[in-house]
Amino acid sequence: MDELHVVRDGDVATITLNRPEKHNAITVAMWEALPGVLAPLAADAAVRAVVVRGAGEEAFASGADISEFGRVRNGAPSARAYSALVAAAERALADFPKPAIAMVHGFCVGGGLELALACDLRWTSPSGRFGITAARLGIVYSPDATRRLARLVGPSHARDLLFSGRLVDAAEARTMGLVNRVCPSGELETATYAYADMLARQAPLSQRGAKAMLQRLAGEGTMSDQDIAAFVEAAYESADYREGVRAFLARRPARFEGR
């Protein structure tokens, strides 16, 4: 769909929230489409990392599209269905088997921050503004989104953000642990894609295993302890492990294939 624009450049794919005239506010159709956008990228061995961003530089996403709330959140039953749709989209991103980086220009608020929290990493420029505005709307955020927030920033900072609905700037977000890196103005895209390219050269099996293990430790994901133990053992039998050892001994870059 046009509002979720996908571009592939070598090993790295970019998913752009493409509603700049609305500060990339996320519609029901966008939430519904996201799992289907991610699925072929997950299946494509040529894609090694994904960058999620908003169109332009004013906003990553200003939140869910509140103009739809009269229709999609007009009571408990419809709100429940809407929340399930959002949760499925965020889960598809959180469970995406390859590194996903949220590249944040400007506002990253409400549902936009939920989406960024479902990514593995968050990079921003000094223009970044972050917040959860549930207290301004009289709603309660989902358990999954709240858990992701608290896991990153800790319960005390999570209470601050959720109780107040205030926005924090990039520097405070970095101090909280909400973002991984604040890049100088004008350098965010170059730095983010250089990092994504570096990730794309590492061993996919190692990244997938690390992601699954971290999710398991956080009480998330679909793998059991037995699944993860089997994954660790299988890695030692992989072609990538043999290639990694050969490359290290030969002092050359490894050429990993994800198998």
The pLDDT of residue 1 is 66
Mean pLDDT of all residues in the chain?
89
pLDDT at 205 over 80: yes
DSSP string, 123-174: EE-TT-EEE--HHHHT----HHHHHHHHHHHHHHHHHHHHHH---EEHHHHH
Q: Is 34 exposed, middle or buried (0-12, 13-18, 19+ CB in 10 A)?
A: buried
Q: How far from 35 is each of 83, 95, 214, CA to CA, in Å?
A: 15, 10, 21
Q: What is d(CA 60, CA 129) in angstroms, rounded to the nearest whole number?
A: 9
Predicted model pTM: 0.91
Q: What Rg, from alpha-carbon coordinates, does the chain have? A: 19
Comparison of pLDDT for 214 and 189, the residue scoring more = 189
The pLDDT of residue 73 is 65
Question: What's the distance, CA 75 to chain centroid?
Answer: 29
Residues in the chain: 259
Q: What is d(CA 72, CA 233) in angstroms, rounded to the nearest whole number?
A: 46
The pLDDT of residue 59 is 97
Domains of the chain are 4-200 (3.90.226.10), 204-250 (1.10.12)
